[in-house]
């Protein structure tokens, strides 16, 4: 079965640089979520999109922005990177509905030096 | 207030034994969902099992079952016949059923399970 695809899998950036993370949801999934997991921590919700519209926003810094495109893939843009942005970034997708499970991608491991 | 509580930071179990991972939750929403995810050292987040607040029966998925006690607000994961490959972090998560709102997951702090041969 097809899974959520994230690219790149690993990314190393310098402080103040920008990064773009991409997410390709499972086919026919119309909702995408972004989570950030710091070292030794639980995942924290950043932002979500349903049918290409932002549906909810969590603790996402103003330096970050995201969107969902017409083919349902999503991109998380991160600017002015800080050391504290080093984390594992997950994208998850689901079909709309309360009983629907969120399936996670393999994550993008971002290291800011 | 913390919505998902996993009090066991770590557990050890012998291979082939059963183990219970605790999870308590807090919500005032009558409609919610509870999930368990497994995160091996490689980092991916693997869905294990789901329990809806209105489900009459406890969820089961292969060797995984969920001991759902609604009145006590607990949703413990039971793994039967542990295998070495079960060694991982386990996260309990909740999704509240807000009408027209977010379906985001709120996670507990996780617990580390180690299966010994």
Residues of B in contact with A96 (CB under 8 A): 103
pLDDT in tens, B12-25: 999 999 999 999 99
Determine the average pLDDT of the residues in A46-57: 91
DSSP-assigned beta bridge partners for residue B5: B24
How many C-alpha atoms does A62 have within 13 Å on its Cβ side?
0
Q: Which of B50, B91, B109 sits opposite A101 (nearest CB)?
A: B50
Residue B74: pLDDT over 80: yes
Helix H, strand E, coil C: the string for chain A is: CCCCEEECCEEEECCCCCEEEEEECCCCCCEEEEEEECCCCCCEEEEEEECCEEEEECCCCCCEEEEECCCCCEEEEECCCCHHHCEEEEEEEECCCCCCCCEECCCEEEEEC
Q: Which of B31, B35, B108 sits opposite A98 (nearest CB)?
A: B31
How far B28 CA lies from chain A's nearest CA (Å)?
16
- The answer to whether the Cβ–Cβ distance between A43 and B104 falls below 8 Å is no
Sign of CA dihedral B4, B103, B43, A107: negative
Q: Give the start-end residues of each E strand in chain B.
A: 4-5, 10-14, 19-21, 24-25, 32-39, 46-52, 60-61, 64-69, 74-79, 88-96, 105-107, 111-116
pLDDT in tens, B81-111: 999 999 999 999 998 765 555 678 999 999 9
What's CA B95's distance to the chain center, in Å?
12
pLDDT attached to residue B8: 86
User: Do B29 and B81 meet the contact criterion of CB atoms below 8 Å apart?
Assistant: no
The pair of structure tokens assigned to B62 is 């292969």
Length of chain B equals: 117
How far B52 CA lies from chain A's nearest CA (Å)?
7
pLDDT in tens, B37-63: 999 999 999 999 999 999 989 999 999
Give the three-state DSSP class for B32: strand
pLDDT attached to residue B59: 95
């Amino acid at each position: 079965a097809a899974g959520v695809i994230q690219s790149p899998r690993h990314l190393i950036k310098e402080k103040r640089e920008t990064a773009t993370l991409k997410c390709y949801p499972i086919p026919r999934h119309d909702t995408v979520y972004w989570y950030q997991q710091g070292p030794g921590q639980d995942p924290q919700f950043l932002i979500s999109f349903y049918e290409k519209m932002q549906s909810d926003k969590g603790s996402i810094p103003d330096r970050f922005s995201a969107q969902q495109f017409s083919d349902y893939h999503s991109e998380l843009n991160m600017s002015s990177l800080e050391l504290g942005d080093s984390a594992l970034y997950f994208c998850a997708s689901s079909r709309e509905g309360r009983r629907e499970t969120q399936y996670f991608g393999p994550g993008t491991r971002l290291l800011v030096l | 207030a913390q919505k998902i509580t996993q009090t066991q930071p770590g557990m050890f179990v012998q291979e082939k034994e059963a183990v219970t991972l605790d999870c308590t939750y807090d919500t005032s929403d009558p409609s919610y969902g509870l999930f368990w995810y497994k995160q091996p050292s490689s980092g991916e987040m693997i869905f294990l099992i789901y329990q809806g607040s209105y489900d009459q029966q406890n969820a089961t998925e292969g060797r995984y079952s969920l001991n759902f006690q609604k009145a006590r607000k607990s949703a413990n994961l039971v793994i039967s016949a542990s295998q070495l490959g079960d060694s991982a972090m386990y996260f309990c998560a909740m999704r509240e059923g807000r009408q027209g709102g977010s379906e985001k997951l709120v996670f507990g702090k996780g617990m580390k399970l180690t299966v010994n041969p």
